[in-house]
Amino acid sequence: MSKTSFALTYFNENRATILEEWYTLLRLPTLGADQNHLGDCARAAAILKKSLKAMGFAVEIITPESGLPVPIVIAERPATGASTTVLFYGHYDVQPADPAEAWNTPPYEPTLIDGRVYARGAQDNKGQMFAFLLGIKALIEAGKPLPNIKIIVEGQEESGSSGLMELAPAIAKKLRADVLLVSDTSCAADGRPAIIASLRGIQNLTVTLKGADYDLHSGVHGGVAPNPAIGMAKLLATLHHESGRIAVAGFSDEVVLPSKEEIELSLSSQQSEREYQKEIGCLPLGGERALEPALRAGFHPTIEVNGLFSGHCGHGTKTVIPSSATAKLSMRLVPDQNIERTLSALKTHLEAHCPPGFQISFSEIVTGAPGFRLPISSPIFKLAEDVLLEMDDRPPVFRWEGASIPVVATLQKVTGAAPLLVGFGREEDKIHCPNESFGLDQFAQVMEWSTLILEALAF
């Protein structure tokens, strides 16, 4: 990024004010899935509303009619003579901070260390979202031409965007746009800007095996009563073949394989196994090992165990046979997979493979949202490439992202907008983990991307 860029100059001149406004958002534990934090979510929405109104936006706050009433901020600022309408999407909710003891600094007290701000939500998505909005503010204050801009910022992305999913069809006309801009993704491993050509969808399920009516003495009942923890281990082992390929019948039937060009572009920016190990701490040996890691992450679905608990998990020993065992599963889905069919296939598989002696039940079922994938020939990608070359002399990479932003496919459908996802996260940001952080240089990069892409769309 040029040291004389418009965005960086604005950031440097207004640094103290920017940091204090950003920190105010970061201090709020905006857990959109927790009713105990509805007040924090409301305060975050109010802060955003005030900020956007000061920038000349017409702003309203709406809440879903079912589920938790987590506020959604909608704003609009028409531009005289503009023929292009941009919709920017972001979210202010965050992941829980647990385990709290693993944080080196208080998770909700932003702390600046060596150019990085440490706090829950520092990157995902309060950092990238707020930086993008500041790019808009900088352009407005400079009197630069802009497209018509619409903004929607929600508070339930981390838990599936159920409220916005529910409301999206009803507010589709209000959100109609040509381009959907999202800054909630990462750059390439070598720091090059990345254009996200695809995101996987997501769904969730909790499965429980019930054995005896209560925990049993493992001496008296060991070798006689069935052990749910062992049963759960056996059940989960049936989800994948030895090769790592998903073994659930029908789950992967609708997977559309990548084109030759998509494969080549995906592999061109893939890390080596040793680079991955150095950055992550383990080799990339999950999933279907016959496929390259970039192809596994971008073009194939997954079934992962997110949590597994049964019996005594505290310090010391407690010689029991637990009465139940529970596993939390998440499924990442590639475009064209039907979310109802994949969920049904998984439940059918688990029921059919339930070991004898147990009752199986399901809870916390989230059917979820599908993924999206745009052809690399999309005109919006060519525009993005040209803009990103102004920020970095190296051509940007295309990434078929394994992560999910659940509502993007829905917004694409109801608004008619072409999604353009460009973000500046890095692995060192540790999103969803203790000690999440975001570099001030990354914050300024998002601001620069915001100013450049909006100027390019102002015609």
| Residue-wise pLDDT tens digits, 276-330 | 999 889 999 999 999 999 999 999 999 999 999 999 999 999 999 999 999 999 9
| Residue-wise pLDDT tens digits, 388-414 | 999 999 999 999 988 889 899 999 999
Q: How confident is the model at residue 2 (pLDDT cuts 50, 70, 90)?
A: very low
DSSP secondary structure letters along 163-204: HHHHHTTTTHHHH--SEEEE--SB--TTS--EEEEEE-EEEE
Token pair of 296 as six digits: 């596994």
Task: Name the helix (H) or strand (E) containing 95.
Answer: none
Phi and psi angles of residue 181, each rounded to the nearest 5 degrees, phi first: -100, 135
Short-list 57, 135, 217, 26, CA closest to 452: 135
Q: Where are the domains of the chain?
A: 6-199+371-456, 201-255+301-369
**DSSP-derived secondary structure letter, 246:** B
Q: What's the predicted TM-score (pTM) here?
A: 0.86
Phi and psi angles of residue 437, each rounded to the nearest 5 degrees, phi first: -150, 170
Output the CATH code of domain 201-255+301-369. 3.30.70.360
| Residue-wise pLDDT tens digits, 145-178 | 999 999 999 999 998 899 999 999 999 999 999 9
Amino acid at 32: G
| Residue-wise pLDDT tens digits, 71-127 | 999 999 999 999 999 999 999 999 999 999 999 999 999 999 999 999 999 999 999
Helix then strand count (H, E) for the chain reads 14, 18
Amino acid at 113: I
Regarding the domain with residue range 6-199+371-456, which homologous superfamily does it belong to in the CATH classification?
A: Zn peptidases (3.40.630.10)
Mean pLDDT, range 422-437, rounded to an integer: 96
Short-list 164, 121, 117, 193, CA closest to 398: 193
Residue 390: Cβ-neighbour burial (10 angstroms; 0-12, 13-18, 19+): middle
Residue-level length of the chain = 459
